[in-house]
């Protein structure tokens, strides 16, 4: 399979998440992911994009950028929000906030379900502040190769 990089930029509004979710679901199916795994990928994408819209947008002109990478081994999705500019005091993902989220991450907690879901269902999950003052969330889903049985 040839390597591919797909870049999308959507307005920072929940309305635009569903078409991206459908696109990524169709892509994952085309790549051969099983139906259950496609649902996992779509749920993680939904949660990560929702967080970018709700926590990483400071005005009506903000956008969310996605980079979707495909190679022989994995489907990788990077979601980037622009946050509130270069002021680290206004960035929702400060180092202290990330430590607090990690410490309180639980299925029974009031908040942090999106992060908990993304970490639980993806093979790799990374979050970090970006140079625009926002947050980058990277999730990776590896292809499962069937074991070859020697006869």
Enumerate domains of the chain plus CATH numbers.
Answer: 4-142 (3.30.565.10)
Rounded Cα–Cα distance for residues 81 and 151 (Å)? 51
Q: Look at 72 and 100; give whichever has higher pLDDT.
A: 72
Q: What percent of the chain has pLDDT over 90?
A: 51
Structure confidence at residue 151 (pLDDT): 44
Q: DSSP letter string over 28-90?
A: HHHTT--HHHHHHHHHHHHHHHHHHHHHSB-STT-EEEEEEEE-SSEEEEEEEE-BTSS-TTT
Average pLDDT along the chain: 82
Over residues 64-98, the pLDDT tens digits come to 999 999 999 999 999 999 876 444 454 455 556 65
Over residues 46-58, the pLDDT tens digits come to 999 998 988 777 6
**Any residues with CB less than 8 A from the CB of 115 and at least 6 apart, and which?**
47, 51, 101, 105, 125, 127
The answer to whether the pTM exceeds 0.85 is no
Range scoring the smallest mean pLDDT among 52-56, 112-116, 132-136: 112-116
Instruction: State both tokens at 109.
Output: 């907690």
């Amino acid at each position: 399979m040839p390597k591919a990089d797909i870049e999308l930029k959507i307005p920072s509004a929940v309305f635009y998440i569903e078409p991206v979710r459908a696109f990524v679901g169709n892509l994952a199916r085309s790549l051969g992911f099983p139906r259950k795994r496609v649902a996992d990928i779509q749920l993680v994408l939904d949660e990560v994009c929702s967080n970018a819209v709700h926590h990483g947008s400071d005005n009506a002109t903000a956008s969310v950028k996605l980079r979707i990478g495909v190679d022989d081994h994995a489907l990788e999705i990077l979601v980037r929000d622009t946050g509130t500019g270069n002021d680290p005091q206004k960035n929702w993902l400060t180092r202290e906030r990330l430590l607090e989220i990690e410490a309180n991450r639980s299925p029974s907690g009031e908040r942090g379900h999106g992060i908990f879901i993304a970490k639980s269902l993806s093979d790799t999950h990374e979050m970090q502040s970006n140079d625009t003052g926002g947050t980058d969330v990277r999730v990776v889903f590896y292809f499962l190769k069937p074991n070859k049985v020697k006869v």
